[in-house]
Amino acid sequence: MNPTFLILAAGLGTRMKSKLAKVLHRAGGLSLVEHVVRAALGVTPAHKIIVVIGHQADHVKATLEPYGVRFALQAEPKGTGHAVLCCRETAGQEDGPVVVAYGDCPLLTTATFRALIDQQIASGKAAALITTRLPDPTGYGRVVLDANGDIAAIVEHKAATPEQLHIDLINSGIYCFGSELLWKHIVEIVPNAASGELYLTDMPEILARAGHRVAPYDLKDSTELLGINTRVELAGADRSLRDRKTRELMLGGVTIEKPETVIVDPDVQIGNDTVIEAFARILGASRLASDCRIGSCSIVSNSELAAAVHIEPFTHIESCVVEAGAHIGPFARLRMNARVGRDAYIGNFVELKKTYLGAEAKASHLAYLGDAQIGENANIGAGTITCNYDGVKKHPTTIGKNAFVGSNSTLVAPVQVGDGAYIAAGSVITDPVPPEALALGRSRQVVKEGWVAKRRAKQGK
C-alpha cells in the first residue's frame, strides 16, 4: 500500500530573518521543501503527498504545483501538531502508513524514508520515529526512551530540564504512523503551556499512554537529518547537497577538479570522461555529453552540449545548444537559444544571441552576433557587429556558407550576405550581398604625401 506523506511547510521561519518563507530558501539548487518532495516521490505517487502550506502559501504552492502534489492549508502557524491536524480532512480516510516530514529537512533521502516505513510496518508498533545522536543537540527535541527502548516522550529543548538537556538522542521530525492510530489520537494534543502551540512531538507520549508503542529508528549518519533554521545551517545543507551531486557524477565517470568549488544542479546530466574544471557552475536542466571540458569559472545553464565540446574558462552559456566538437571561449557569452554547429569555433569576447553559427564556422574574436543565421564554414572577422535593433524592433541577418566577413564589419539588419561572398574589412553593409561577390562599404583611403612637412612650414617651426 502506498504511504501517505504529510510535509509540513507552513511555518514562518523566524530564525532565517527573511522576507522569504524558510522552506523556499534554496540549497543544492532547489528550494528546501522541493528536496523533501522529491525524496518522498521516490516512495509514493504525487497524489499521496500532501504539503501543509500557510505562510506565503501561494508562493509555496506555485513552487510545488509542477510536482502534482496536493495541499492542505494551515491558516495560522499553531504548531507542528496543528499542521498535521489540518490534513485530517484530506488524508483521514486513507489507510496505510502516514509519514510526517518537515519541509526544512532537505537532506533526507528516499532510501531513509523507505527504511523508516519498512521498520514501522515490520514492527507492528503504532509509529516509528527517526532519531540520531548528536554531539551538539542544541535546539532539537530530546527523545526519552522507556525501559524497553521505545519512545516514552519527546521534550523540546526549551522545555527540557537540565538533566534532559544532556540527552544526545534527538527528534529528527520524521515519523511514520499507522494511519488509524494517528487520526484517532492526534486530537488529544493540547496546547503547549509556554507557546500555546500544538506540538506533534507530544504524540509518542499520547500513544504510549494509550498502551501503544513508538519505536526509534536510529540513524547512525546524522547528516541527513539536518533541519534548517538559520542561514548558517542553510549553507551547510548546500555544501552537503552539492557534494552529494558531484560525488554521484564522479562515480559515474566525470572528472571534477576541486569538486568543493564546483556547483552542479540536481537535474544536470553529464557523460563520462567529461572534465569540469574548478569553480565551474552547471545549472538547471543542462545536459552534457561525453568528453567535454568545461573551463574554470564558466557557467552553463539550461543548455545542451554534445560530445567533445570544449568550453574555455570564464564563458557564460544560457539556454543554448552546442553541437559536437565545438570550441567556445574564453570569455564568450551565448544566450537565448543560440546554437553552435559541429566543430564551430567561438573565441574570446564573442556574444551570440538567438543566433545559429553553422558547422565549422569561426568567430574567433570580439563580435556581437544577434538574430543571425550563419552558414557552415563562414568566417566572421574580429569586431563584426550585427546591428539587429533599430530602437523599436529586432531584425535578422543571414550570412551564407563559406562567406568571409572582414574585421570590423557592421551588418545593418535586415541584411543578407550570400554564400561565399566577401565583405571588406571595416565595411558598413546595408544592402544584400550576392553570393561570391565582394562588398566594400567604406570610404576610400586618402594619402597626402609630405603633409607633415607642409604643416611645419606653415607654423614656422
Question: What CA–CA distance (Å, rounded) separates 282 from 269?
Answer: 9
Rule CB under 5 A: which of 217-276 touch Ca ion? 227, 229
Q: Which is nearer to ligand UD1, 240 or 407 (CB)?
A: 240
What residue type is 403 in one-letter code? Answer: A
Binding mask 336-375 for ligand UD1 (x = CB under 6 A): ----------------------------------------
| CA proximity to 119, closest of 172, 46, 175, 81 | 175
Nearest-angstrom CA–CA distance, 27 and 329: 29
Least Å distance between CB 76 and ligand UD1? 8
- Region of 70-78, 126-134, 216-224, 280-288 interacting with ligand UD1 (CB under 6 A): 70-78
The H or E element containing residue 99 is: strand 97-102
Burial 10-44 (b: 16+ CB within 10 A, else e): bbebeebeeeebbbbbbbbbbbbbbbbbbbbbebb
Q: Which residue is nearest to ligand UD1 (CB)?
A: 141
Is 256:250 a contact under the CB 8 Å cutoff?
yes
Q: Which of 279, 365, 274, 278 is nearest to 322 (CA)?
A: 274
C-alpha cell at 317: 552559456
Q: Which does 120 bind (CB under 5 to 8 A by kind): ligand UD1, Ca ion, none?
A: none
d(CA 37, CA 17): 24
| Contact pick of 3, 79, 358, 400 for ligand UD1 (by CB under 6 A) | 79
Q: Is 365 a catalytic residue?
A: yes
Rounded CA Rg of the chain:
31
104 binds Ca ion (CB under 5 A): yes
Q: Which of 31, 74, 377, 397 binds ligand UD1 (CB under 6 A)?
A: 74
Residue with Cβ nearer ligand UD1 (173 or 370): 173
Of 106, 53, 50, which Cα lies nearest the Cα of 77? 53
Q: Which of residues 122-151 bind ligand UD1 (CB under 6 A)?
A: 140-141
Segment holding 131, helix H or strand E: strand 127-133
For Ca ion, the closer CB: 237 or 338: 237
Looking at residue 445, what DSSP letter applies?
Answer: P
Judged by beta carbon distances under 5 to 8 A according to partner kind, the member of Ca ion, ligand UD1, none in contact with residue 355 is none
- How does DSSP classify residue 23? G
Using the rule CB under 6 A, which residue among 177, 199, 345, 404 binds ligand UD1? 199
Rounded distance between C-alpha atoms, residue 139 and residue 236, angstroms: 16
**Among positions 3, 97, 173, 381, the unique one binding ligand UD1 when judged by CB under 6 A:** 173
- x/- string (CB under 6 A) for ligand UD1, residues 88-127? --------------xxx-----------------------
Q: Which residues are catalytic?
A: 365
Residues binding ligand UD1 (CB under 6 A): 8-11, 23, 52, 74, 77-80, 82-83, 102-104, 140-141, 154, 156, 170-173, 199-201, 227, 229
Question: Residues in the site for Ca ion, rule: CB under 5 A?
Answer: 104, 227, 229
